[in-house]
Amino acid sequence: MKKYNTNQVGLLLVLLLLHASVGAKTITVNGDGSGDFTSIQAAIADVGTMNGDEIVVFPGTYFEIVDLLGKDIILRSSNGPADTTIDGNGFDTSVVKCISGETPAAVVSGFTITGGNATGSFPADLGGGMCCENSNPTIQDCSFIGNTATYGGGIGNVGSSPMVIDCRFIGNTTDQWGGGVFNESDSPTITNCTFIGNSGGNGGGMANQGSSPTVINSVFRSNTATGGGGGVFNFVSSPTLTNCTFSLNTADVGGGGIFSESSSGTTVNNSILWGDSPDEINNNSSSTTTVRFSNVQGGFPPDTIDGGDNIEADPLFADGPGGNVRLMRGSPCIDAGNNGDVPPGLLTDIDGLPRFVDDLCTEDTGNGNGDIEIVDMGAHEFMRSDILRDGMVDFADYGFLGLRWLDVDCEDCGGADLTCDGDVDVEDIAVLIDNWLAGKI
């Protein structure tokens, strides 16, 4: 079950109230002919489709290009991205477009977006999966897979500040900047997103030019750049990265994790940069990176400002080489962040687990601003009830606890000792029940 923070819930409530107050209608799209339309674009373009309307798309693969045409509508799938795909293969342009002043009330939610190819001349070189020009849509629970562009293989933003929430960028490419996302002259907010296996010239995961994006609770893993910034590349930009995890990213020039140049000022809070190559952070051309309450392998290169309370210690990923960057028991990143750097209203981690959890077995080294529950470093909050470290508390964890039932005087008890008293008993069951079905199920 997906958990949303209060800001996301507030946005959805506003959209629902707007939907109800203006007598908005629901329009259905189904490729088998049982809906109001068989084409997503036909539903959007219809003269009867107005601001506030909701278009619900039923499962299937839709081979078409989708342009919201400046309409502040809710475009969502009925079953989520696993069952509903918009495929732009063969059209040689962006798959989804917001290029006519769309506002945050324009929502794209629950699609796999693939097959985009924006490699033409400007402006047809921006955003293989999705192009946002001078628009600020809300993009939620979408998977951008296998798109390509000159700038921004997954999403390309110019003069736009979309909210991108719970999205996945996988295997997108560019020969220039931003394999996953490219931002120019804008300030998008990116929350709970994963960037995996994207590639580009500069910025395998993300590239920023003259931009100030805010990136929260996000993972950059196994992205590559032939230039700088396997994870993130910054040019005259000032991004803020909070509770992010960087791992196994590579860059030929430098900054396997983050590369900043041309007077960029990057801020990194509560984050983990570990296992990137050839280095974690690289600053060039009068750029600086300020790091606070973070775990950075190799320490700090020149022009990196130590903002305090940083560490350099193995984060103990559950399976770093295999891509599971959740924290294991005993990680030095547990209870080691700064609550004051977490944006207000952000209550869960990238998995939907509670963001502030006090681990009884870990000495607090972070700053709780007076609270005993201190945020962890990285995108994933450690929760002992998630015994198997898969981002959810369910019957698999219950079954493992059962295998160690009534073990006594055991150190950690294989992770089944949730109360840290050396035994596996009813108290541990109670902790598991308290967190039952937490996470993304």
Q: What is the pLDDT of residues 63-103, one digit of tens each?
A: 999 999 999 999 999 999 999 999 999 899 999 999 999 99
Candidates 1.10.150.300, 1.10.1330.10, 1.10.3720.10, 1.20.950.20; CATH matching 383-441: 1.10.1330.10
pLDDT tens digits, 244-271: 999 999 999 999 999 999 999 999 999 9
In the chain, domain spans: 6-324, 383-441
Instruction: Give yes or no for residue 1 having a pLDDT over 50.
Output: no
Question: What's the pTM?
Answer: 0.93
What is the C-alpha separation between 313 and 121, in angstroms, rounded? 47
pLDDT tens digits, 273-307: 999 999 999 999 899 999 999 999 999 988 999 99
| 6-324 placed in CATH 3.90.1150.10 | no
pLDDT value for 42: 98
